[in-house]
Amino acid sequence: MKQPEWMKLWQRLVTPAAPETIVRVVPRQQRRMAGTYSPLHAYLEHRYADLAVLTFEQIESLLGFALPDRARTHDDWWAGRGTDAGGSGYADAWRLAGRTAKPNLLAGVVAFERVSS
């Protein structure tokens, strides 16, 4: 007796595929940060806490160089609108880590807060 077409389809669905025919789904990689501010990005991305407060000195220690003078004197630098950005993408360091930067210039600290998703 000839097997009905629907039964053939059903058997293909429930029969395990040969290992060479299994398609493995690779999770989409997160966007990578490159450049001089990547050490700050790596630090913020791997922090479990929703709030990371760093002094200017701690940030400079992570980066291995001094922050621009504008970072110490203008809030807008931390918003990524500073004139010395020069296309460097420095604000991507915290943005790609899913955080906002809120500086307290008088105290010399920056609060990097995780953006709720």
Radius of gyration of the chain (CA): 25
Q: Where are the beta strands (DSSP E) in 2-117?
A: 51-55, 99-104, 109-114
Report the pLDDT value the prediction gives residue 34, as an integer from 0 to 100.
76
- Residue 30 pLDDT > 80: no
Mean pLDDT computed over every residue of the chain: 80
Token pair for residue 98? Answer: 């899913």
Of the two residues 40 and 22, the one the predictor is more confident about is 40
- Residue 82 pLDDT > 50: no
Report the pLDDT value the prediction gives residue 84, as an integer from 0 to 100.
45
Report the pLDDT value the prediction gives residue 85, as an integer from 0 to 100.
41
Every domain of the chain and the residues it spans? 38-114
Report the pLDDT value the prediction gives residue 5, as an integer from 0 to 100.
75
